Amino acid sequence: MIEPRLDHFIRAMPKVELHVHLGGALPIETALADVERIAEDFLTRQARQNIRYTEFTWTAWAHFVRAGWRFDDQLAALAAARAWAKKELGIGSGIVIDIPRTVSAEDGKQVAQWAIAGMEAGVVGLGLAGPEAGNPPERYADAFARAWDAGLPCVPHAGETVGPESIWSALKAARAQRIGHGIHALDDPALANELARRRIALEVCPTSNLRLAGVARLADHPLPALIKAGLVVTLNSDDPALFDTTLTDEFLKCAEAFRWTDADCERLALNAAEAALLPPAERAELADDIRAGCAKLRRAGH
């Protein structure tokens, strides 16, 4: 059982979340007008956890194919929700548009073009998600090249259910700025050294890994070993509704399982701030906000 002081600290501490999917399981009958409301509800729940900034992934291609929603209309709904949340809740956010791994290379290029076109409206990254096995990042190398040429960072999922070769591919084919999951990074010492040297952050999602990636128990999760090896680790919830978790829950579970201190929790929050797809000055301001908030909690005895 986690001690009450640390429990309070985790719940109250300012946080950043980088790997969380919005609307991946929306039913086809969902109306486009509902997307803004759904995004507002999501950002409200993020703000209640004292999350100061969040990047959420949106699979625009799925909604284009399933429901015929134009990307411009999808983006407008998300942008409106972001603006509302910033004004009313004080939470900043960015959109990661992801390529589903099951689409063709040509469709991947279309997704990249959408993401590039959305950069002025809050799109901060191009992702890659879906089943890793048999769907390597190399298939979408041209899409990632277009994003990089436009100044849009790439943040693919890799090393979740496939080994280190998937992460190497993400580094080479996508020039990944962050790695979604990356829990198999330690399977290759050379890869671990490369990730640590370049400070490429891993977006680790423990509960998701327990449900999907064959980690039998939280105690068996490689998260502590990743931290010990000097990798930049961030904590995330992945699909909160699907896995019945939140970022706060992830901190609480991990703090209990791995005997974290408040300083350990602050370090992971700072890692996320420093890995956010924001201009350097805004990243520094976000990190300062986390330090100040944690210091205030300590002064108050929490």
Element (H, E) at 68: none
Q: Is residue 301 part of a domain?
A: no
pLDDT at 302 > cutoff 90:
no
pLDDT at 251 > cutoff 60:
yes
Q: What's the mean pLDDT when you consider all of the chain?
A: 95
Note down the domain range covering 92: 4-296
Q: Is residue 92 part of a domain?
A: yes
Q: Can you give the CATH number for the domain in which 290 is found?
A: 3.20.20.140
Number of domains present in the structure of the chain: 1
pLDDT at 28 > cutoff 80:
no
Nearest CA to 128 out of 186, 165, 54, 179 is that of 179
Q: Is residue 302 part of a domain?
A: no
**In this structure, which long-range contacts are made by residues 275-284, counting pairs with CB atoms below 8 Å and at least 24 apart in sequence?**
275/18, 275/178, 275/201, 275/232, 275/234, 276/16, 276/18, 276/53, 276/55, 276/94, 277/55, 277/94, 277/96, 277/124, 277/125, 277/153, 277/155, 277/177, 278/53, 278/94, 278/124
pLDDT at 29 > cutoff 80:
no
pLDDT at 26: 56
Q: Is residue 131 part of a domain?
A: yes
pLDDT at 233 > cutoff 80:
yes
In the chain, % of residues over pLDDT 90: 91
Q: Is residue 265 part of a domain?
A: yes
Six-digit token pair at 272? 């996320």
Nearest CA to 17 out of 45, 52, 44, 42 is that of 52
pLDDT at 296 > cutoff 60:
yes
Q: Is residue 144 part of a domain?
A: yes
All residues at 6 or more sequence positions from 95 whose CB lies less than 8 Å from its CB, including other chains: 55, 56, 57, 58, 75, 78, 82, 118, 122, 123, 124
Compute the average pLDDT of residues 229-248: 95
pLDDT at 31: 72
| pLDDT, tens only, 102-120 | 999 999 999 999 999 999 9
Catalytic positions: 160
Q: Is residue 251 part of a domain?
A: yes
Distance (Å, rounded) from C-alpha 157 to C-alpha 136?
Answer: 10
Q: Is residue 233 part of a domain?
A: yes
| pLDDT, tens only, 172-185 | 999 999 999 999 99
